[in-house]
Structures are given as structure tokens and as C-alpha cells.
Amino acid sequence: MPRADMITSRLTIEAQTTIPQPVRSAPGDEHSYGIRDNRVISQRHARAPGRRVPLRPSIKRLILKRIIEPMPTFEQREAIHLPLPHSLRGTLVMILTFLLLFFSSACRTGPAPLQFAPGAMVLHLATRDDVPTLDPVAGYDTASWSFEQMLFDTLVRYSDSGVDLVPDAAVHWESSPDARTFTFQLRHDIRFSNGRPVTSADFKFEIERVLDPANNSQGIEYYRGIAGGEQYSSGHATSLPGVETPDPWTIIFRLTAPDPIFLAKVAMPFAAAVPRETVARYGRDFSRHAVGSGPFMLKEWKSGQRIVLVKNPYYFIEHIPHLDAVVEEMGVDDNLQWLKYQTGETDVSAIPPAEFPYVMKTPRLRALTLKLVTLATDYLGMNCEIAPFTDVRVRRAFNYAINKDKFIAVFNRRGIAASGILPPGLPGYDPEIQGYPYDPRRARHLLEEAGLPRNFAPQLWLRADETQMMLAESIQQDLALVGIHVLLKPVAWPPLLEAVRQPRTVELVLSGWEADFPDPENFLEVLFSRQQWGANNNSFYYNPLVDGLFAQASRLTKMKKRFRVYDEAQKIIVGDAPWVFLYYPATYIIRQPWVHGYVLNPMRPTRLEGVWLDRRPERR
């Protein structure tokens, strides 16, 4: 799935790395940022009314308190578990940053303070962007899935920290020897958060929603193989005979061809149980009134401000979740998130670039971090439908032009240089694929051969994030050395997801993909097949030979042979170079000492129903 947190929380800048900072304009100007002759320039591409970013009253009080009061002693900070600033300069930068925000902010009333029962166990989180959606039919990114997996149940799911499938709504399942029939027996004690029992019909209803072309679901390709799925998804049928519900507790899937990984596909939120009557009531606004059978239920969602989930009293596992509520505040960048972590206002945090070395060198803080190498690949995507990226020589030149060693050094080597599409650890990964070494001379030769004009200045879209900007500027510098003057276009996460799916819109995009299930299909076919144009193939790449190999692999049940066919497809794609293959990332987070049971998963956002809290110190 697209990764909202592509590099957030695992970056740090080495002291010797120098990256130019874009020239910022007066409030109200939206910019693309470019670099020429080692000088950063800005090109205005739109103008909108000025909008100032307000600070919440609690943060204003916090900043003033930090300025007026003396810095706590080491003993005082230890007593309340707060990390010491690693440098006076870092502290001053933080104070000055928030002073600027403070004095530039306009008055605005935020959401009313939350009221919970005394002693309630509430997990506080913070993030930069809003959640794109809570509707399983629409969500296909880590931000949406983080909340969808708390609100909804699937038949099976991945374990909290691994890639093994375990029961969720189903207590038992079996597949036919030819991998074409899958039968699931449901729990009898599962209920939606409104109290209504969940039945097999609720799972069938959601599959029908995903296959309904009117919903434009990104998950449609995963279920076309169900008997009748092609006709239903093309609008030529009104029923789906390949999904049978002989009784409320049994659901049977019949496929048109063998699919040895179908079980993993029904573990995706696309296949969650959803109540038909609630969707009928709210229609496309179901996301704002989401009702599921998961461990939590939606209490409040104020766009751009906060989202609040509370315990589902009907959840089928006794005494789960441990938490009474989860509150995520939005519009909080990494630096402000870190400040909130220092003061105990958030329980889990990203680690800003400047703080990372200090955290890792401080034993007490390092003990609070979690690290995981995820099944993910981060990349620079090139739109193969927009000239000059229609020319494979230009795409290969971009691969040779980018210095991955320097790029990874920007975030303190929190990743491995990528040579291909599949990450290490994913079944089918081929260590023999070498990719493209750094060779700017060869890049310049290919660009000259392709006849690229000297004034070529493509626009690179990226998530609006400080650390993403640093990485984009590193790419910008490398391409400037071969005569390409890239303009940077930072965009909020939800509109970025929408833009990259539009044809002939986004020339370049800095993005990443995290595995939905442990199989090459999820990286190769999902991201590079012609059927995925307008969905997940945001490079609009197409090679009929590759699509033929995808069709061949999908019919194979012997996994070794299946992997060989996918490997052949991957080698062709790497040669066609629709991406610059950047790196395979490692994720780092830090949690408070009172947070327990928080674990990372290599393929999914962290599940929170098993998290519990000690009594935290009083907040300052």
C-alpha cells in the first residue's frame, strides 16, 4: 500500500551533509522549489489567499512556559521521564520555531477539550496529515489502514508482529487442493459496535462494494478472480455467484482460477465486514459514520484537527482492548510532535532528524525506541506517459544520476540502497539484480543521446513534510549535476494520493510502497500492470510482455515456479526503469516509559488493541 510515513521518524542529518534550503516566500504564495548553479530558486505556480497556521492554546502556554521558566535540572527531567535536549542550539531552534508560529498565528477556536472518566486509559498520538478515509472500500494507504484495522474485522488477519495469518472473525477455514475454493466458519459472538450481530452476508456485501465499479475501489483487482467477479465489476451482472452464504456463519468463495494467496487477500481491509444498513443510510459519507466490529469505534473526527476512537463494548475478545480511547491530533509536524513527546502530551512519537543521534546515543532513550526493517521500497516514480519520460534512455539516466549512498547518508543510513523492486525478506527477492550504480557521466551521455533540452525542468511531487523536502533536495542536487533543474511541489498526503492516479498529471513523485501480503504479486502486478492505471500504477508503465508474465504467474500454484516467472518480469521492469529504485527503509519510533504492548509489524500499521498504559506522570 502507499506509505504515508515514507521517511518520517527515521531520518537524521550527518554533520558533513549540506543541503540547500529553498527560498521561502511571503504568506499566501504557493511555490515549486528549484535549484540552479547550487543556488535555490523558487517558481510561483499558483497564488491563494494567505492562511496562517494557528497554534493551540495549550502549545502557546507550553512555549511561554519554556521561555519564562528556568530549564529543569537533570534530576527533575529524570523524575518525569523527559529527555534532555542534546544541544543548546537544538533547544533555541525549537523555541524560535514555535515563537514564529506563535506570533504569526491568528485566533481560531479549536475542538472542545475531551472529557474521559477519571482513570481512563487514553493513548495520545499526533500526525501531520488528516486521515484520507475510514471506509474500507476506499482506503489504500497506511494512514487509512491504521484506523480501519481498529474499526473493522476481516476473516483472518496478520499477527501483531509477524506475517503469519491468524483467526479474526473466522474461527476455522479450509481451501480445496486446487486453491479455487475457500470456506470460512465465522464466530457466533461477533457484533458491530451498534450491537447488531455480524453475519456472513456482511462480508459478502463488502466484497460486492469493492467490485462495484461505481465505488472506484483500489482493491477491485484482488477480487476479480471470484466467479462472476469480472461481470460484476464491469457492470454486466447484478449478482456475485462466486460468494456463497449458506448460513449466517459460513461464507464460501469460488474462484475462476487457482489463487494460492487468496487467503492473504481476504486479510486486507477491503474484505472487512460492513453493515449494509449503515452504508445505505449514509452512502458516500459512510467514512464519517463508520461502523464496524473491530476493537474500537469512531467517536469523533474533526477534519485536520483530531480523530477519537473509543472502546467497542461489543468486541468479541473479553477485556480487549485495554485502552479506553485513542486520540490522534492532526496538523502536527515532526518537531512539534517531538516537543509534545518531551512534555508527555503524546505517548508515541516520530524522531526528528536533529534529535535522532542524541536519542540513539542516550541509553535511557534508546531503550524506548523500536526498530523494524519493513517489507517496503521507496522510489522516485517517473510518468511513462509524459514526455520525455516516454523515452527509456531518460528514465535510465535518472537512475544513474542519483547518488544513493549520499541519499541514504542524509538520514544516517536508516535503509539499504535499492537495486530493484522487491525488498529483502519478501518471498521472491532476487539478490542477483544489480540495478543502476551511480554514474553521472553515463547519465549525461544518455540524456544527450535522447536529445533532452538544456532547459528541462520537471516538477517533483512529494508529501509536504520537512524531512521529505530534505530527501527531495538531495535528488534535486544530483540531477542538477547532469543538467536537469527539478522543481519541488510539496502536497498534503490525501491530494497527493489522488493526483498521482490521474493520467498525464504528475511527472515525478517521491513515494514508497509497503507490502499488503508477502508475495511478489503485491509489488509487481499491483504496481506495474496495465489494469492498475488510475489505481496503483502511478508511473503509468505498460509492457505487454510483462503483463503476459503476470497472467502466467497468477495461474501457478507451485510457489518456486511462480517466483521464477515474477523474477523474469521484475528484471524486464528494472531494465525499463519506470522508477528510480531508492532504498529499502527501516522504521524507528519512540514511546513513553508508561506505554506497553506497542509492537511494529513489517507489513501493517501497529495494532493498538493490545497496548496498555501505566499511570503516567502528571503533565506539565
Strand stretches in 268-373, DSSP E: 296-302, 306-311, 325-329, 348-349, 369-373
Q: How confident is the model at residue 94 (pLDDT cuts 50, 70, 90)?
A: low
Mean pLDDT of 213-220: 92
Residue 616 pLDDT class (50, 70, 90 cuts)? low
- Read off φ and ψ for residue 57, nearest 5 degrees: -55, -35
Weakest-pLDDT range from 311-315, 455-459, 513-517: 513-517
Residue whose C-alpha cell is 515514507: 6
Residue 406 and residue 474 in contact, taking contact as beta carbons nearer than 8 Å = yes
Residue 388 counted as domain residue: yes
Please, which pLDDT band fits residue 586 given cuts at 50, 70 and 90?
A: confident
Q: Can you tell me the distance from the alpha carbon of 155 to that of 55, in angstroms, rounded to the nearest whole number?
A: 43
DSSP calls for 601-614: -SSSPPP-TT-EEP
469/399 same-domain check: yes
How many Å apart are CA 193 and CA 274, to the nearest integer?
Answer: 11
Question: DSSP of 477-543, one letter per residue?
Answer: HHHHTTT--PEEEEE-HHHHHHHHTSTTT-SEEEEEEE-SSSSGGGTHHHHHSGGGTTTT-TT----
**Would you mind telling me the total number of residues written for the chain in this entry?**
620
- The residues pairing with 166 across neighbouring beta strands, listed in sequence order, are 157
Looking at mean pLDDT, say which of 77-86, 157-166, 247-256 comes out highest: 247-256
C-alpha cell at 413: 543510513
36-45, 80-89, 126-135, 351-360: least confidently modelled range: 36-45
- Cell numbers standing for residue 526: 499491483
* Maximum Cα interatomic distance, the chain, rounded to a whole number of Å: 72
**CA gap 53, 473 in Å, rounded:** 24
Nearest-5° angle of CA 51, CA 54, CA 58?
175
The answer on 437 and 378 residing in a single domain is yes
62 and 162, same domain (yes or no): no
**Confidence tier at 161 by pLDDT (50, 70, 90):** confident
| 4 — pLDDT class (breaks 50, 70, 90) | low
Does a structural domain hold residue 332? no
Residue 371 shares a structural domain with residue 508? yes
Q: Both 479 and 593 in a single domain?
A: yes
Task: Collect all residues with Cβ–Cβ distance below 8 Å to 595 and sequence separation of at least 6.
Answer: 123, 347, 348, 611, 613
Q: What pLDDT is stored for residue 353 in this prediction?
A: 76
Asked if residue 42 is part of any domain, the answer here is yes
In Å, how far from its chain's centre is CA 7? Answer: 10
Give the up-direction half-sphere exposure of residue 134: CA atoms within 13 A in the CB hemisphere: 27
Range of the domain at 230: 142-283
Q: Is residue 133 part of a domain?
A: no
Give the model's pLDDT for residue 98. Answer: 53
Sign for the pseudo-dihedral over CA of 317, 322, 323, 324:
positive
Within a domain: residue 416?
Answer: yes
pLDDT tens digits, residue range 176-194? Answer: 999 999 999 999 999 999 9
How far is the C-alpha of 205 from the C-alpha of 209, rounded, in Å? Answer: 6
Give CA separation, 414 vs 93, 374, 420, 485, in Å: 24, 11, 18, 27
Contact (Cβ atoms closer than 8 angstroms) between residue 501 and residue 383: no
Domain-embedded: residue 109: no
Task: Supply the DSSP string of 245-275, one letter for each residue.
Answer: EEETTEEEEEBSS--TTHHHHTTSGGG----
State percent of the chain over pLDDT 90.
Answer: 64
* 66 shares a domain with 21: no
pTM: 0.74
476 and 592 part of one domain: yes
Structural domain tally of the chain?
Answer: 3
- Per-residue pLDDT reduced to its tens digit, 44-55: 233 233 333 344
Asked if the structure places residue 333 within a domain, the reply is no
Task: For residues 88 and 151, state if they share a domain.
Answer: no
Q: Does residue 115 lie in a domain region?
A: no
Phi, psi of 340 (to 5 degrees): -65, -35
Residues 204 and 249 in one domain: yes
Task: Kindly state whether residues 516 and 586 are assigned to the same domain.
Answer: yes
Residues 69 and 159 in one domain: no
CATH assignment of the domain containing 226: 3.90.76.10
CATH number, position 445: 3.10.105.10
CA distance 438 to 607: 39
- Please count the CA atoms within 13 angstroms of the CA of 12 that sit on its side-chain side: 17
466-480 vs 334-342: helix crossing angle, rounded to 10: 140
Same-domain check for residues 80 and 173: no
The tens digit of pLDDT for each residue in 376-427 reads 999 999 999 999 999 999 999 999 999 999 888 887 777 889 999 999 988 8
